[in-house]
Amino acid sequence: VNEQLIFALVGEGSNGKSVLLDVLDRVLGDLVYAVPDSVIQPGRGDAHPTELMGFKGARLAFASETKREGSWSVAQMKKLRSSEAITARLMGQDFVSFQPTHTLWLISNHRPNVGPGETAFWRSYREVHFPTIFRREGVELAPGELRADPGLTAHLIEHETPVVLRWLVEGWEAYRSEGLREPQAVMAASAEAQAEASPFSVFAREAFTLAPGESVPASAAFALWQAWKDQSATLTHLRPNVARDISVLATELGVEYVPNRGGASPALISGLALTPAGQDLARELADRGPYSRGPKISSAALEWLREHAGLRAVSSQQGGPVVGVTAPARGGFGVATVTSIQSGGPFAAG
């Protein structure tokens, strides 16, 4: 409870998660609460108060979520892992409030599907990965798989309960004396889960890198996100889908969003620069021009994209429009494209 962390046991089926939970459920008895699946489903608002009564006095609360296409309700999980009092009631009875005593475990066959900007969730997320698959007798083993012991759960419950209980007590004593020592494997899996959590997270880490002193115009970042989504029809509906919401990129990557406070200064995302993949995407956008099909791009964003994609602009001899000659496309096999921007702009060569 003091750590306010969420522990996720993640791995494809037949890897030991159920064995662990069944044994702990028997050893701890009434101190375990199996949280209804509906509590962590998105779109429900607050959980029904009767569903929360099971947390009273529980030391271990676990919820199972196995729908690959489903999302986890981040708002619910934040509440359930906090140290704030829980208000609940039994069916037909008055409300009561109590302090949480539980550690929250999430059991899933896949990593969480969490929307952009949920850095508070990821700070509390700790993933315990279950990589090994156990197959029953008669099923051919793939490399790395092991043979399942169908009697393991029953054996542990019938013969090893005191040993398991002692193991739990020793773990508590170690925590009291040394604090929470987080294994490197857990931290690495947690970071990997965050990077893969949502298409927006993937985009953010593909297109941008941390760069103190640099900044990206919010309009350019939104144009890049729109172009990235254009790669697949299944992505077009994803948030953020309006330019003003691209500020979640700063939250996603732990940098600062500087809003437009009026005048000519655009909104910026400070502390970021384009990766090589981001430069490729910027080059594709710059090649399209402002009037092509696809995401609408402001002239200021287009100029920034041209400059930071490694494109060069050459001023005309007559003081007319500046002709920008783009760099070759990816791999160096593309044909140079000629586009036009206004003369005297910030990226015109002298």
Question: What is the arithmetic mean of pLDDT over 167-174?
Answer: 96
The DSSP secondary structure of 241-270, one letter per residue, reads -SGGGGGHHHHHHT-EEE---STTPPPEEE
Name the pLDDT band for 331 (thresholds 50, 70, 90): very low
Give the pLDDT score at 41. Answer: 74
Q: Is the dihedral of CA 113, 119, 121, 123 positive or negative?
A: positive
Is 50 exceeded by the pLDDT of residue 100?
A: yes
Mean pLDDT, rounded, for 164-184: 95
Nearest to 309 by CA among 324, 290, 296: 324
Indicate whether 88 pLDDT > 70: yes
User: Out of 57-66, 107-116, 130-139, which region has the weakest mean confidence (pLDDT)?
Assistant: 107-116
**H helix runs in the chain, sequence order:** 17-28, 49-52, 74-81, 119-124, 152-159, 161-178, 184-196, 199-207, 218-229, 248-253, 276-288, 299-308
309 has a pLDDT exceeding 80: yes
| Mean pLDDT computed over every residue of the chain | 82
Distance of alpha carbon 164 from alpha carbon 144, whole angstroms? 27
- With a cut of 80, say whether residue 5 has pLDDT above it: yes
For the chain, the structural domain boundaries read 6-196, 200-341
- In the prediction, which pLDDT does 339 show? 34
Q: What is the pLDDT, as a whole number, of residue 338?
A: 30
Contact call for residues 76 and 1 (beta carbons, < 8 A): no
For residue 106, give both structure tokens.
């999430």
Neighbours of 126 (CB within 10 A): 18
- The listed CATH number (3.30.565, 3.20.20, 3.30.420, 3.40.50) that belongs to domain 6-196: 3.40.50
For residue range 180-225, what is the model confidence (pLDDT) as tens digits?
A: 999 999 999 998 888 777 788 889 989 999 999 999 999 999 999 9
In angstroms, the CA 328 to CA 45 distance is 51
pTM: 0.67
pLDDT at position 140: 93
- On the question of pLDDT at 318 being above 60, the answer is no
pLDDT at 241 over 60: yes
| Confidence bin at 130 (pLDDT 50/70/90) | very high
Using DSSP, state whether 137 is helix, strand or coil.
coil
Higher-pLDDT residue of 59 and 332 is 59
Q: When comparing pLDDT for 128 and 325, which is higher?
A: 128
Q: In sequence order, what are the residues at sequence separation of 6 or more whose Cβ sits closer than 8 angstroms to the Cβ of residue 306?
A: 282, 286, 313, 324, 326, 339, 341, 347
